[in-house]
Amino acid sequence: MATPLLMPKATAVWLVDNTALSFEQIAAFCALHPLEVQGVADGDVASGIMGANPIQNGQLTREEIERAEGDPSYRLKLSDPKVRVAAPKRKGPRYTPISRRNERPNAIKWLLRNHPEMKDAQLMRLVGTTKSTIDAVREGSHWNNANITPMDPVTLGLCSQIDLDLEVKRASKGAATPDEADQGTMLLSAEEALSSAERRANALEQFEFDGGDQSADRRPEREEEIDADSVFAKLKSLKGSARDDAED
């Protein structure tokens, strides 16, 4: 793996100000475009950046610069670093101090009780244990099962609260989502709100239209019933008055 150049623009500023290298040579060494290097020379680019001396950084030598100045087609090469930076280690099983290894069954018991949705692989990452130990605690066949007490792994110092929350969040992604009734009021998008409003308006118009027709159909029947009763009452009163006149 090639060692990257430290502070490319700052190095380009120093090379432009302190060497006779061409723009192409500086651009090739600093992984910049020749026009960008020309902008550095004109003061249009990286005007507020202080130059970084690659010789002091151990990334170039004075002999390499002089050789490139004498041959415009020569390309500068990075010097071998004097200090080797260790490659990042691959993330393996979590190391657990010897003094706390006896507490891992207690943490496993707590996780199994309070977060049953978590997978065994997540428990192994959090506590730094093995699948056989998890199965033994779950089935109650652990050799020290009588003395196992559920305890928070964060309190025991086996993991951080951030790691625990992250694993719980990962495990909850696969869980079923609650119904809208359980979620309560939800914020709808603009399109959903408009479509819901249109459906409600159409339903209201249809309801008013149907109700108006029914009331219009029923109103004449009621009026006819009222008119018939009044007519019969008038007839009875007329007959009664006629009989009284005849008797007189």
Which residue positions in the chain have pLDDT lower than 50? 1, 176-185
pLDDT of residue 210: 60
| CA 17-21-27 angle, 5° bins | 90
pLDDT of residue 178: 46
pLDDT of residue 177: 47
Are 153 and 113 contacting, i.e. CB atoms less than 8 angstroms apart? no
What is the dihedral sign for C-alpha 217, 219, 222, 226? negative
Q: What is the pLDDT of residues 85-116, one digit of tens each?
A: 566 665 655 666 777 788 899 999 999 999 99
Contacts of 39 (CB under 8 A, 6+ apart): 45, 46
Rounding to the nearest 10 degrees, give the CA dihedral for residues 125, 127, 132, 138: -110
Rounded to an integer, what distance in angstroms lies between the CA atom of residue 247 and that of residue 23? 138
pLDDT of residue 44: 84
Number of neighbours of residue 133 by Cβ within 10 angstroms: 16
Rounded to an integer, what distance in angstroms lies between the CA atom of residue 6 and that of residue 54? 8
Q: Which helix (H) or strand (E) holds 124?
A: helix 120-127
pLDDT of residue 244: 58
pLDDT of residue 90: 58
Are 158 and 103 contacting, i.e. CB atoms less than 8 angstroms apart? yes
